[in-house]
Amino acid sequence: MTTSTAIIIVGLGPGRWEDLTLEARALLEQAAYENTTVYFRTLVHPTVEPIGREIANLRMESFDSFYDESGGWDTLYQRIVEEISQQHPKVPCLSEDQTPHCLVYNSRDDASFP
């Protein structure tokens, strides 16, 4: 039997359960069914509460503690990358800007931190 490890990054959208794509919902439901922990950048997002209601047995963790320790987005994402790399050392990754990070993100256009 071959086991593979993958990291799937899903955007939560603008903040409503109804805005999640069908594929994102399916991935979250599959994670709940397989009892796999889902890591959120933050649980302070308007979509997280409805996800918890709709997929009651979903195991959720976050990187919220890193926000207090980080001075900006770059530092925050680097900390998240380091944590993911430690938890999943055999998963090859590149970020969208081709730096040696293990995370794809699109929040560089966020107006403020956090």
**Residue 65 placed within a domain:** yes
Residue 87 predicted with pLDDT over 70? yes
Structural domain boundaries, residue 64:
17-109
**Residue 96 placed within a domain:** yes
**Residue 5 placed within a domain:** no
Rounded to an integer, the average pLDDT of 49-74 is: 89
**Residue 7 placed within a domain:** no
- CA–CA separation, 10 vs 21, rounded Å? 9
Across the chain, mean pLDDT equals: 76
For the chain, how many structural domains are there in total? Answer: 1
